[in-house]
Amino acid sequence: EYTKSWSSESGRCVILGDAAHAMAPFLGQGANQALQDSYTLAKSIAKINRDASIRPEGLDSLQSQTKRIKQEIDRYEAKRKFRTTLIGAKAGILGYLETLTGKSSGMKFRDTLFSTLGKLGVVDAVFKDGATPKV
């Protein structure tokens, strides 16, 4: 669910990938989004470490370290949450359309829709959008 946090209150325990946002398989985005989560989270951790090496006196207490970690984890979550929710919704819609049945109604509608969207370039845009890293 979009409103649930991906981290513990302290920020020292963080989830990513399918643990944070399970993906329907129809766009093949589960592993892709998990890798983008990992990269974004690693950048946040590196920033904490870099800041600590520049200003070690600013991160001397456990309280200040915890606060700094939580700030970066919140940034990671804010950066990734909307993106993964959007891709998950696209995968869900595509899955629904791909699995329509009924020779005269569902399948015909699906095939006509996909053919039309393909000609308009919408299909390429959806697939390319999901495949382009946004980290």
3-class state of residue 135 by DSSP: coil
Position 121, amino acid: G
A 10 A CB-CB count for 22 gives 12
| Nearest alpha-carbon partner for 11 in 92, 70, 76 | 70
pLDDT tens digits, residue range 24-59?
A: 887 788 888 999 999 999 998 888 888 776 665 655
pLDDT tens digits, residue range 58-100?
A: 556 667 777 888 888 889 999 999 989 888 888 888 888 888 8
Q: Give CA separation, 89 vs 31, 82, 118, in Å.
A: 16, 11, 19
pTM: 0.73
pLDDT for position 94:
84
Higher pLDDT, 131 or 107: 107
